[in-house]
Amino acid sequence: LAFVVDEGTTAGDLIAAARDSAGPELREMRVFDVYRGEGIGEGKKSVAFHVEFRSPERTLSDEDGRRLREQIVAALADGFAAELRA
């Protein structure tokens, strides 16, 4: 998942909000790229994350993954005006 956010937004804040929204099934979320430049906009950056979902109780379905992803996208949009980068 990659998000365009204001330059002052920290990856740690994004991860904390994602964890709050997705709960314990979000097992890992770590930054693998930060991009500033053409196509992003003045005062903005793109932060890309490796995301891993897992449940100790059951196998997660594709629908579970989609739901968790949508929860994270919505939480970061609401909390940071983050835009999912296509």
- Total-model pTM: 0.93
Distances (CA, A) of 27 to 9, 39, 40, 76: 22, 31, 29, 17
pLDDT (tens digit per residue) in 36-84: 999 999 999 999 999 999 998 999 999 999 999 999 999 999 999 999 9
Are the CB atoms for 15 and 80 separated by under 8 Å? no
Contacts of 1 (CB under 8 A, 6+ apart): 48, 49, 51, 69, 72, 73, 84
The span from the CA of 9 to the CA of 4, in Å, is 10
What average pLDDT does the segment 22-32 reach?
96
Amino acid symbol at 61: S
pLDDT (tens digit per residue) in 2-22: 999 999 999 999 999 999 999
